[in-house]
Structure 1
Amino acid sequence: MMLWEAAALVAIGILAGFINVLSAGGSMLALPLLMFLGLPTQVANGTNRVAIVLQSVSAIGNFMRAGASHIGLSLRLSVPAVIGSLVGAWLALQVSDALFEAILIAVMAGSALLMLLPQPKLDTRPLTTERLTPVIYLAMFAIGVYGGFIQVGVGVLFIIVLYRMLKIDLAQVNVFKVLIILVYSIPALAMFMWFDQVRWSYGLLLALGSMTGAWLAVKVNMSPRGAMWIKYLTLVMIAAILLRLLLG
């Protein structure tokens, strides 16, 4: 690995970790970078999980020190997501590189469009056990399948379920999202490891950046204007990556 490649992994990791904790879309930067650096698609998909797990550990540690609550409810929601992630990771290992790349392009384009939609202002309220209906558990299973398969843009799905359906405030959504992703990403990473689809040197450098970005995201209190700036920067980078993928 060349020095500039290592620097790129850390730099994109910082941005991806920051975005993943506060919003969604970090893997839309990290996964294509791993592919551009020459990793086969399945290896890139597995290697990205190293950063996802470690950045989530970093973010959860900081959230808990900051007084995050409802950890038990997050773990309940994680159970169907874990089952789904194992299904999704297994499916990812069955598809060809060409099909996976086509799916990546499609989900990146779809996620970018969803990020452009305005977020409605809802009357939010704390989550309680009785609101965890079978529909919510089924949605968590579906998110787990998707996250285990590709992870890209999974934060958008969490916002739909946790914010729009359960009407949890966005600050709490971030805590729930990060903890659930951590729990379901561990078995998904284990499956990629079992099939020797993880390049640790790349994953750990990306994770170094991601953990730093996650730490910054928890510490920084983003203003609405600042959050929009990050969002549009992400979309510009996603557009450039999509163009590069489409050009082969």
Structure 2
Amino acid sequence: MSLLEALGILLAGLGAGTINTIVGSGTLITFPTLLFLGYPPVVANVSNTVGLVAGGITGVHGYRDELRGSGPTLRRLAPASLLGGVIGAVLLLVLPPEAFTAIVPVLIGLGLVLVVLGPKLNRRAALRREQGIAPSVAWHGPALVAGTLVAGIYGGYFGAAQGVILMGLMSALSSEPIQRLNGYKNVLATIVNAVAAVTFILVARDDVDWLVALLIGIGALAGGFVGSKIGRRLPPVVLRGVIIVVGLVGIAKIVWFS
């Protein structure tokens, strides 16, 4: 690896760590960078997943104020992310790369629709509750757990735009402020990445390029701090706009690379 290539990977990790904390989809920066530099897709994906865990940790730390009192919610959702991450990582190792090509853009697109419609759906439900005519929303909790599991499977398999999918689900099924939801997203996505990384290390350690993972990790570690500073200052409407733009770019890149 040349010094220029190392610098490129380090900067890609910085960008990925930043965008992951704000929105998600940092893999759309690092993964294409590694492919461009000639790394095989599986090696690029596995090494990238291992490296990005560091950025998730600093991103979660940066959102610690928004996460105060979130224990009950995270205890309900975290097991689904953990299980999903394991399933997704195993699927990456046993399925051909084309297996999820068709469904990935659909999932991201659905996430974007939910990001847009989520506030409207929540306002309508709140109005119905005030009027005493709200239908039961008991299904929201199980639906959110199931959706978190699906997002975890996708995140363990590939990871790009996992945050968009999670934000879409939570925007539609939760009335929490968007910055708090972003904190939840950072925790859940980090769990998925960490579990997938451990699975790769245990099962497919020969596919991990440790120098690449280290460089991405150093960059992502700094990016998590940067992203939390930026993301927490964005007004809700701007944050939703960023999510939509990144999600559309993600769909375009995934379709292009497939």
Q: Name the TM-score, length of structure 2 as normaliser.
A: 0.77
How many residues are aligned here?
237
Structure 2: gaps (5+ residues) = 127-137
User: Which residue matches 2:214?
Assistant: 204
Distance in 1 (CA, whole Å) between partners of 2:189 and 2:115 is 24
Distance in 1 (CA, whole Å) between partners of 2:141 and 2:248 is 34
User: Which residue matches 2:133?
Assistant: none
Q: Percent identity?
A: 24
User: Which residue matches 1:107?
Assistant: 104
User: Which residue matches 2:49?
Assistant: 49
More displaced 10-residue stretch of structure 1: 164-173 or 68-77:
68-77
Tell me, yes or no, if the aligned pair for 2:105 and 2:254 is still in contact at 8 Å. no
Secondary structure of the residue aligned to 2:94 is coil
Distance in 2 (CA, whole Å) between partners of 1:184 and 1:225 is 26
Q: 1:129-182 CA distances to partner (integer Å, 9 max, x unpaired)?
A: x88732222222211111111111111210121111223221011110111122
Tell me, yes or no, if the aligned pair for 1:107 and 1:152 is still in contact at 8 Å. no
Secondary structure of the residue aligned to 1:29 is helix
Structure 1: gaps (5+ residues) = none
Distance in 2 (CA, whole Å) between partners of 1:226 and 1:143 is 20
Tell me, yes or no, if the aligned pair for 1:88 and 1:146 is still in contact at 8 Å. yes
Query: Pairwise CA RMSD of aligned residues?
Result: 3.2
The 5-angstrom pairing of residues 127-146 of structure 1 reads 133-146=141-154
Rg larger in 1 or in 2?
2
More displaced 10-residue stretch of structure 1: 68-77 or 185-194:
68-77
Secondary structure of the residue aligned to 1:141 is helix
One-letter amino acid of the structure 1 residue matched with residue 67 of structure 2: A
Distance in 1 (CA, whole Å) between partners of 2:229 and 2:19 is 13
User: Which residue matches 1:21?
Assistant: 21
The 5-angstrom pairing of residues 77-156 of structure 1 reads 77-97=77-97, 99=98, 103=101, 107=104, 111=108, 115=112, 119-120=116-117, 121-122=119-120, 123=122, 133-156=141-164
User: Which residue matches 2:224?
Assistant: 214
Residues 211/80 of structure 1: CA separation in 2 closer, same or farther (3 Å cut): same
Tell me, yes or no, if the aligned pair for 2:147 and 2:169 is still in contact at 8 Å. yes
Given the alignment of the two structures, is residue 37 of structure 1 paired with residue 45 of structure 2, yes or no? no
Tell me, yes or no, if the aligned pair for 1:48 and 1:203 is still in contact at 8 Å. yes
More displaced 10-residue stretch of structure 1: 108-117 or 138-147:
108-117
One-letter amino acid of the structure 2 residue matched with residue 156 of structure 1: V
Distance in 2 (CA, whole Å) between partners of 1:226 and 1:176 is 15
